[in-house]
Structure 1
Amino acid sequence: MAAPKKVLYAAPPDGGWGWMIVAGCFLVTICTRAVTRCISIFFVEFQTHFAQDYAQTAWIHSIVDCATMLCGIGFALCYSPAIAMVGKYFNKRKALAYGIALSGSGIGTFVLAPVVQVLIEQFSWRGALLILGGFVLNLCVCGALMRPIALRDDRQNPAKLDLVSKAHKPHFKHFSLCSPLAQDWTGTNLCCSSRREYDFLLLPDFLVLAVSVLFMAYGCSPLFVYLVPYALSVGVTHQQAAFLMGILGVIDIIGNITFGWVADRRCLKSYRHICYLFAVGLDGLCYLFLPLLQSFPLLVPFSCTFGYFDGAYVTLIPVVTADVVGTSCLSSALGVVYFLHAVPYLVSPPIAGWLVDTTGSYTGSFLLCGFSMIFSSVLLGFARLIKRMKRSPAPQPDPKLRLWSNGTVAYSVAGELDQKEGEVVAPRGTTYANT
């Protein structure tokens, strides 16, 4: 069969096969993030079976999340590339595309949470994990949908160009690839290409975003570990606790799609950062009220509110990253951003569990997570405010006013003609010094 012809796009097509990429990313988020969230339902089973405290049991969930964001193994091989591919295919409708793609996390949580509870009751936690493992094999189908796209920006980016320019290629016909000259040339160009590809690491905007992401990731992770145990501790049944996770998941979908659609409006495209920090800050505020909610009817509105704004900022993370670094460096930048999630995801659930073991209450854990997310929002907000203040233009003198060498103002009759219609003045071009 003939190889498929590669088409060079001047800009992302904002449709076509891009919607299949969105569908593939949607399935990826179901098989990765939704399955990871459902580990919260296994938490009590693990704690009972292995007879461990909260801090020790929390390492199971935190290691899964950390490995997904940190390594090149397991879920990481599917999650980050799928998200980056959506950014390659969409520009004008990027936020909406990400909203649909990342809503798989909420839909998967809504569907899987009660199903996993039933599986545990019918087949024990071991059988439930085996069934989930078979479901995750659908990631192979998602990978088959990912079709690379060639963009003009990629060709113009020095990091994407060939290692050897056309002018020097004829000289390499007489050299072996193992020759010292060829190795030195290739090594030098590889270093230059890698350095240029990660130039965004020196951008002040990206550095502030990176620090903000660290605090946000620390705060968002423990809830998906401890929501079910906390609900059980205040007298909620197992089915109701699983239903709380389901509610959080379905409202998460609404947050994904509505915030994605709103952020794509022309009047709000320049305010995507504000939408992002607003959503993160409100999730942190929800954390602060959680210790006061000790019944199922009160936990339902919490799940709705937290789930909505969680879906909102998750959708906006790749959009805000693309606004900071551009489309050509989006894959590398997203890799760094999700890499920064790894350490907070690793340490925050065990720290929260240690606080529960030490104090005998969830209050300290939830307050720490809430203040962490609020600080993330405030930090990014102050950075945007300082940047806007620096960009504000200095007051400029009236262009119609001219200065003589002694600093006095010279008035132009032409300027006076623009302001005083019908008044008889001296001929055009005549100027008088202000005495």
Structure 2
Amino acid sequence: MGSGRKKEDEREGFRMVPNHDDEENIEKGDVDLVKYDPYAPPDGGWGWVVMIASFICNLVLDGIAYTFGIFLIPLMEHFGVQKGPMSLVGSVLAGTIQLVGPFVAVLVNKFGTRVVCIAGAVISATGFFASTFATSVPVLMLLYSIVAGTGLGLMYVPAVVAVGYYFEKKRAFATGISVCGSGAGTFILAPLASLMLSYYGWEGATRILAGLCLQCAVCGAVMRPLPRRKEKVEEEEEKGEPAPCFQSVVSSVFDRRLLTNIPFLLLLLANLFSTMGLYIPYMYLPSQAESKGIPAVDASFLISVVGICNTLGRILSGLLTDIPCVDPMVVTTLALTFGGLCPLLMALCVEYWSFLIISVLFGTFLSAWVAVTSPVLVELLGLELLTSAFGTLTFVRGCAALLGPPLAGFIVDGTGDLDIAFYISSGLLVVSAVVSLASYLTIKRSQ
């Protein structure tokens, strides 16, 4: 009878718990009825498995995107092209991952994180594997950058969103751990890619990366959907057929409330410049170090140094921004300012120890800019517009990632001076800091 009463109470949305405030009543068997929500995020349990799966997805997809510079010279030699055309392959890959973000968000809303992530793992693995048979740069770009990049983009959004579904009180902590996979991927895959290149060439190394992508299908499989509220399902059914995917994306990206917010528009402009500048050192740092007589393995390890410092920096900057008196816009502006000086110093480095120091500073400073993006958007627009604003910002960053490295590459090809790429990166990041400061001052003036 007691068991039947317990089940009946749980169906009604109650749970029997002891009243710990009165030990005497506990001895008598008295209990309180506490209202609970069966549809609330579990804040643990299987959620920790989902967090680890998201971490691995971020490790693989960002690790591949950020370590393309290690493949740059072998690919140039294989296809007989210069830095400009070949760096375009890497920048299109990075740009595609972010450009498809708004579309992927719509797919996640319709099909769930599990299906979309598994599809992304299969598509990216197929694209990378097929690219090893490419006979020209355009074919390589189609398979490696666009097809595989789309697959990685399909993995990226579920890897971020799934953690949020499983956590509420611990959401910031769990999400922070999962996105640290980005820096960990750069740290791990950079020396691994260099080692694979020395043994298997770029084709074999890329096929191994394809295998890593395919393993992410297992990570997607653990992102099982949580039960949904009956009222929510009925509400969606009453709305009938949803808007077409493209229409949904356009209405989200071009929200009138976003396009009329001056500080947000300035923030978009700042991100355009900063993302263009960010990817250039990732692309050319190994080549720059090798040109100073540093061995290829040691040169590729610099990307690992940037990655691990980026990981630690995200955690520290997140803790710093949680302090009530710290303004995330100030953190963003300072991070872009000091981070913008690092590429300039990279061009002046000669000894390996100097490259190591600047790589540490570059990874640490610019990690803060990335880590505080959500707090900045909430401060500007409020929680209601966070998803739409993040989608728009991701789209702009994708466009910028397409422009920065090839722009620097074509200029380097024309001048024959690799240092110019780092001057361009530094200039773009400093301009971004100035625009970010203008956004901050605009906010303060309106308050």
Pair in the same fold by TM > 0.5: yes
Among all aligned residue pairs of Structure 1 and Structure 2, give the percentage whose two residues are the same amino acid.
30
User: 8 Å contact 1:103–1:311 — kept in the other structure?
Assistant: no
Distance 2:195 2:252 in 1: 51
Alpha-carbon spacing, 1:215–1:280, altered in 2? closer, same or farther (3 Å): same
Tell me the amino acid that sits aligned with residue 244 of structure 1: L
Tell me the amino acid that sits aligned with residue 141 of structure 1: V
What displacement does 1:331 show? 3.4
User: 8 Å contact 2:267–2:439 — kept in the other structure?
Assistant: no
- 2:435 corresponds in structure 1 to 379
Alpha-carbon spacing, 1:130–1:123, altered in 2? closer, same or farther (3 Å): same
Match of 1:105 among 175, 182, 185: 182
Match of 2:294 among 236, 258, 274: 236
Alpha-carbon spacing, 1:127–1:191, altered in 2? closer, same or farther (3 Å): closer
Distance 1:282 1:144 in 2: 41
User: Are 2:196 and 1:119 aligned?
Assistant: yes
Distance 1:378 1:94 in 2: 32
- 1:278 corresponds in structure 2 to 334
- 1:221 corresponds in structure 2 to 279
Distance 1:230 1:192 in 2: 44
User: 8 Å contact 2:264–2:439 — kept in the other structure?
Assistant: no
Distance 2:86 2:247 in 1: 43
Alpha-carbon spacing, 1:109–1:373, altered in 2? closer, same or farther (3 Å): same
1:75 is paired with a residue whose SS is helix
1:236 is paired with a residue whose SS is coil
- 1:415 corresponds in structure 2 to none
What displacement does 1:228 show? 0.6
What displacement does 1:327 show? 4.1
Tell me the amino acid that sits aligned with residue 179 of structure 2: L
User: 8 Å contact 2:252–2:388 — kept in the other structure?
Assistant: no
Distance 1:62 1:320 in 2: 26
What displacement does 1:100 show? 1.9
Tell me the amino acid that sits aligned with residue 369 of structure 2: Y
Aligned counterparts, 1:10-409, within 5 A: 18-71=47-100, 73-87=150-164, 96-147=173-224, 162=236, 164=238, 195=251, 198-202=255-259, 203-268=261-326, 271-391=327-447
What displacement does 1:80 show? 2.4
What displacement does 1:386 show? 2.5
Tell me the amino acid that sits aligned with residue 201 of structure 1: L
- 1:421 corresponds in structure 2 to none
What displacement does 1:97 show? 3.8
What displacement does 1:136 show? 1.3
- From the two aligned structures, give the one with the greater helix fraction: 2
What displacement does 1:351 show? 0.9
What displacement does 1:194 show? 7.8
Give the structure with higher Rg (CA): 1
Unpaired runs of at least 5, structure 2: 1-12, 14-36, 105-149
User: 8 Å contact 1:84–1:330 — kept in the other structure?
Assistant: no
Tell me the amino acid that sits aligned with residue 286 of structure 1: C
Q: TM-score, normalised by structure 2?
A: 0.72
Distance 1:294 1:233 in 2: 9
Unpaired runs of at least 5, structure 1: 166-176, 178-182, 392-435
1:138 is paired with a residue whose SS is helix
My pick for the range that moved more, 21-30 or 229-238, is 21-30
My pick for the range that moved more, 113-122 or 194-203, is 194-203
Alpha-carbon spacing, 1:20–1:259, altered in 2? closer, same or farther (3 Å): farther
Distance 2:323 2:375 in 1: 13
What displacement does 1:333 show? 2.8
User: 8 Å contact 2:263–2:442 — kept in the other structure?
Assistant: no
Tell me the amino acid that sits aligned with residue 317 of structure 1: T
Distance 2:176 2:366 in 1: 12
Q: Deviations over 1:31-81 (max 9, x none)?
A: 101111222111110111212111011111011111111135311111123
Alpha-carbon spacing, 1:14–1:206, altered in 2? closer, same or farther (3 Å): farther
Distance 2:181 2:362 in 1: 17
Alpha-carbon spacing, 1:191–1:290, altered in 2? closer, same or farther (3 Å): closer
My pick for the range that moved more, 47-56 or 77-86, is 77-86
Q: Deviations over 1:415-434 (max 9, x none)?
A: xxxxxxxxxxxxxxxxxxxx
Q: Deviations over 1:291-326 (max 9, x none)?
A: 111221210101111111232222222343344444
Alpha-carbon spacing, 1:191–1:8, altered in 2? closer, same or farther (3 Å): farther
Distance 1:62 1:43 in 2: 11
Distance 2:171 2:362 in 1: 24
Q: TM-score, normalised by structure 1?
A: 0.74
User: 8 Å contact 1:65–1:345 — kept in the other structure?
Assistant: yes
Aligned residues: 360
What displacement does 1:335 show? 2.2
Alpha-carbon spacing, 1:243–1:194, altered in 2? closer, same or farther (3 Å): closer
What displacement does 1:26 show? 1.3
Question: What is the alpha-carbon root mean square deviation over aligned residues?
Answer: 3.3
Q: Deviations over 1:136-156 (max 9, x none)?
A: 11221222233556899x97x
Tell me the amino acid that sits aligned with residue 313 of structure 1: W
User: 8 Å contact 1:98–1:260 — kept in the other structure?
Assistant: no
Distance 1:263 1:20 in 2: 27
User: 8 Å contact 2:43–2:170 — kept in the other structure?
Assistant: yes
Tell me the amino acid that sits aligned with residue 309 of structure 2: I
